[in-house]
Structure 1
Amino acid sequence: MTAEPSLSEGTSVTHVKQARTVVGWDKGTGCHVYMRDVDVAFSRDGILHVGPDYDGPATETIDGSRYLVMPGLVDIHSHPGEEPLNKGLWDEVGSPRLYNSSLYEYLTVLDRDDDSVRACYGVALSELLLSGVTTLCDLAVPSEGWLDIHAQSGLRVCVAPMFRSGRWLTRDGHRVEYEWNEAAGRLAFERALKEIDRAERHPSGRLTGMVAPAQIDTCSEGLLRDAYAEAERRSVPFQTHAAQSIVEFQEITRRHGLTPIGWLSKLGVLGPRTIVGHGIFLDHHPWTHWERTGDLERLAEAGATVAHCPTVFARRGISLNHLGRYRETGVNIGIGTDVYPHNMLDEMRLAIYAARLTAGNPRDARLADVFAAATVGGAKALGRDDIGRLSPGCKADIVLVDCKAPAMQPCRDPLRSLVFSASDRAVRHVYVDGRPVVRDGKVLTIDHAAAAARLAEAQLRAMATIPRNDWAGRTADELSPPALPWA
């Protein structure tokens, strides 16, 4: 039995007694394991006990006989301040002349005001909490009050204020152009570093920072190098979107004669703190028709992480090729939600199914692997060993799943019942730093219903701006016809 950490004076302790199943951590093998009929005790000081017969102090005792107790999930790539506004608009679109990507025609046509951003956060952060996420990486353009919004949600958040040297656009739906402004990019970089400083100083104690040049194709060589150097100096993670579209792959190979991963490697910005957002179009992907130059091996040797977000790409008929291959090569994988709905459990299920479809067999993507990616894989990407696992001394980021919920029945294997069947319907209680943020399936820190109502109003305002932002002046219904014709 591991020695229990000492308690701060006056600290309340939650004791889950004789849990039906606990996803514990085996330090010897470095893997999650099932444990039956054991106790879990935790407080704001962290996890105090995982094992049989806890006999220490307890402020609250929970009968664990109906619960699966598991570590909170770690979402390493998300855009919660903007993506919920797109719900119902871009589910079934993709630019046919831009390899079905949605980046260049669709994601630039909605104007967002301050209230729409706040509504997006309210909805997305609620969805994340309800699906068992306790740690989130928010890749965003900083907005007024965003740090306080994160702190008030109760989540543990690594903020990633993005910056870039230029922007992409299309004037005809089949060519992508770049407008450059290096001075503006440098100014945004300086502002991003100040936001990271503000996050690190935030009184909540749950906010950290990440250096995040937005996209490999919109950042100059100098900006990427300097951003990575700053991440190294600060000992914080570094993340950029790379290898996320065929257009980007072709642009980088045209500019440099190297794949996006090859270019990052040549720049010296691949390392253990590097997170590659998406990392789909590598030299082995059949769509690139590129010679094999060792992209997967470069990622593995560098110790870099790929942030795998299957939903946004599956909507366009695009898939990583394939999850098992990345893992076999030794690439660390983390899971991200990226887009609406911000449901980490659904994202995990799709990661498994998409990998099996791509590989052509059910053995290259097992639940144990994807659960590890969504917990300790994400924790490793953030340079942390105190989240993503249930072990004494780790942060008390804990999820209780109701094994007696109808969608969980029969419950021979609780994680399989959760991920493949029940999803967020079975998540009952969520704790971050030992504090309850979801109780009885309800978010305690956010008015979810009010945020959703504001989001619906915000989308109507944003849709009115689409014709003036679209290169062809199209309306929302022209860009995204309804699923069924109106009678």
Structure 2
Amino acid sequence: MKLDLLIKNVDIITMDDRNMVIHDGFLGISDGRISYLSQKPPENAAFKKELDGKGMLAMPGLVNTHTHSAMTLMRNYADDIALESWLFDNIFPVEAKLTDKDVYWGTMLGIAEMLRSGVTAFADMYMFMDEVARAVTETGIKANLCKSPVQFFEDGELKRLDKSQGTVDYYNQYHNSAQGRIKVFVEIHSTYMFNERTLANAASLAKQLNTGVHIHLLETTAEVESSKRDYGMTSVEICKKTGVLDVPVLAAHCVHLTDSDLEILKEKGVSVAHNPASNLKLGSGIARIPEMLERGINVCLGTDGAASNNNLNMFEEMNLAALVHKGTAMDPQLMKAATVLKMGTANGAKAIGFEDTGVLAEGMKADIILIDTDKPHFYPKNNPLSTVVYSAQASDVDTVIVDGNILMQNRQFTGIDEEKIKYEVQALSGRLLSR
């Protein structure tokens, strides 16, 4: 057996249907995929590189299914404000100043932060998306990127101009690029920024491209009211009417759903990106996640942007997702560790179009993180799944592997100049954030 990399003596959480845990196991990687997984060492194996995983826990890389990575540039800028004022009075004015260079460096900072915290794939919705694709290509991470077919403003006025050709061009250039590490969806910012005509056009475009849609959906009570006013129905219902839900949909937030909305999401196979930290911080509310899971809806996790969180820490999202719903329902058996961990890995991979990752099994892509558990807050070592959800911190991630390539080892990046990224971001922030 020829291996590119062998990881030995490591505890392994597979995240397959059995949630199997292998103690002191062996992981072999060849051509970017897992080619060996067992408690026994491979016989007659030749390998190019070996990692000793003693004291480590191996698991699938985390998947951040909703963020705006370049919004790291607005971290800690507009806090403790209701969403509508936060967005329209604070964030939009800063975004009006953004250049392609700004978005590139903001995205590089976001990717560095995500890799450091064990994220191997993310879904991004923002502007200057060519620069986001450039950053993904350079850093080795995986991403689902989306492009809006609508330009909202011209000369400061809301116009909703048709830019469908730009979305087609973006899809043709980047979908399955970077050795397959980039997927492209159609962006629908929200039902309140689009209208019935542009929703239908975006749905038609996604069908034409045979791809999916990434949308903000029912994040706030204000959206509930605007949807009633503009459409005479809920945001979910207008999405169904216009055909948006006839393609794969990644719907972020989904806080204020009716019972009928829940049934529609289940019927249409919509994936829901739960963003507990952002929803709590902006006072948007708490999504009905246990009910979604009960109905069989594919629920995953996202951080949202660092302007509303204020970090891209998926360990924090898993912990909050487990605790918040237990507390509000006064039911400690809700949102068990295994469920939440699946939301952060396999469910997320499915939602953003990477079906061959999110699980550690032979034949799957080698998107793996190693967590250093030789620290006081991991002892005594009992349930590994509980360990990840309730005890682990982002800073415990030691090694990150994507498609078999080591992107971080011993908490040192192998191909990212972190100091340069921090320098560039700090230098440009003065111009962007001056009021």
Tell whether the structures are fold-level matches, with TM greater than 0.5. yes
CA distance in 2: counterparts of 1:131 and 1:238, whole angstroms:
26
Using the alignment, how far apart are the partners of 1:463 and 1:63 within structure 2?
Answer: 45
Counterpart selection for 1:305 from 239, 250, 271: 271
Question: How far apart, CA to CA, are the structure 2 residues paired with 1:201 and 1:383?
Answer: 10
**Counterparts of 2:107 and 2:243 in 1: how far apart (Å)?**
34
Q: Which residue of 2 aligns with 1:215?
A: 190
Aligned to 2:392: 422
Q: Does 1:37 align with 2:24?
A: yes
Where does residue 174 of structure 1 map in the other structure?
none
Give the residue type in structure 2 aligned to 1:231: A
Amino acid at match of 1:320: I
> Are the aligned partners of 2:141 and 2:181 in contact in 1 as well (CA < 8 Å)?
yes
Instruction: Find the counterpart in structure 1 of residue 93 from structure 2.
Output: 109
TM superposition shift of 1:64: 2.4
Alignment of 1:46-445 (within 5 A): 46-53=33-40, 54-55=42-43, 56-81=45-70, 83-94=71-82, 102-110=86-94, 111-143=97-129, 145-164=131-150, 166=152, 179-182=157-160, 184=161, 186-187=162-163, 189-200=164-175, 202-271=177-246, 273-283=248-258, 292=259, 294-340=260-306, 341-445=311-415
Structure 2 CA distance, aligned partners of 1:144 and 1:330?
A: 35
- Cα distance in 2 for partners of 1:319, 1:217 equals 19
Q: 1:414 to 1:239 in 2, by over 3 A?
A: same
Structure with greater proportional helix content: 2
Q: CA deviation at 1:334?
A: 1.3
* Alpha-carbon shift at residue 158 of structure 1 (Å): 1.5
Partners of 1:195 and 1:311 in 2: CA distance? 31
Deviation at 1:167, TM superposition (A): 5.6
Which residue pairs with 1:18 in the alignment? 9
Contact 1:155 1:432 in 2 (8 A): yes
Instruction: Structure 2: state its 5+ residue gaps.
Output: none
How far apart are the structure 2 equivalents of 1:373 and 1:18? Answer: 27
Moved more, 270-279 or 389-398: 270-279
TM-score calculated relative to the size of structure 1: 0.82
Check 1:23–1:301 CA distance in 2 against 1; reply closer, same or farther (3 A cut).
Answer: same
Q: Please give the secondary structure, in 2, of the residue aligned with 1:151.
A: helix
- Which piece of structure 1 moves more, 214-223 or 148-157? 214-223
Q: Is the 8 A contact 1:273 1:382 kept in 2?
A: no
Deviation of residue 150 (structure 1)? 0.9
2-structure distance, mates of 1:167, 1:315: 28
CA contact (8 A) 1:407 1:425 kept: no
- AA partner of residue 130 (structure 1): R
Give the match's secondary structure for 2:82: coil
Question: Residues of 2 paired with 1:410 and 1:160: CA distance?
Answer: 44
1:473 aligned residue: none
Identity %: 25
With structure 2 as the length reference, what TM-score do the two structures score?
A: 0.91
**Distance across 2 between alignment mates of 1:425 and 1:418:** 12
Q: Distance in 2 between matches of 1:131 and 1:157?
A: 16
CA displacement 1:90-119 (0-9 Å, x = unmatched)? 232226xx5xx6322222121223443232
Deviation at 1:315?
0.8
Residues matched between the structures, number: 426
Distance 1:332 1:205, change over 3 A: closer
Q: Distance in 1 between matches of 2:332 and 2:246?
A: 31
The answer to whether the 8 Å contact 1:122/1:452 transfers is no
Residue identity matched to 1:37: D
Check the 8 A contact 2:211/2:247 in 1, yes or no. no
Q: Is the 8 A contact 2:186 2:214 kept in 1?
A: yes
Native 8 Å contact 2:236 2:261 kept in 1: yes
Is 1:322–1:359's contact at 8 Å kept on the other side of the alignment?
no
For 2:415 and 2:424, locate their aligned partners in 1 and report how far apart those are by CA, in whole Å. Answer: 17
**One-letter identity of the residue aligned with 1:400:** L
Number of the residue aligned with 1:471:
none
Contact kept? 2:66, 2:301, Cα under 8 Å: yes
Moved more, 190-199 or 265-274: 265-274
AA aligned to 1:147 is: A
CA distance in 1, matches of 2:250, 2:414: 31
Alpha-carbon offset, residue 412 of structure 1: 1.9
Per the TM alignment, residue 358 of structure 1 is displaced from its structure 2 partner at its CA by 2.7
- For the residue of structure 1 that corresponds to 2:14, the secondary structure is strand
Q: How far 1:271 moved relative to its partner?
A: 4.3
User: Greater Rg, structure 1 or structure 2?
Assistant: 1
- Secondary structure of 1:455's counterpart equals helix
RMSD: 2.3
Aligned-pair CA distance for 1:58: 1.5
Contact kept, 8 Å, 1:164 with 1:218, in 2: the verdict is: no
1:250-279 Cα offsets, whole Å, 9 max, x none, are 111112221111211222322461111211
Q: Look up the SS of the partner of 1:191 in the other structure.
A: helix
Which residue of 429, 432, 435 corresponds with 1:459? Answer: 429
CA contact (8 A) 2:215 2:250 kept: yes
Q: Give the secondary structure class of the aligned counterpart of 1:38.
A: strand
Secondary structure of the equivalent of 1:280? coil
Work out the CA distance in 2 between the residues paired with 1:387 and 1:144. Answer: 25
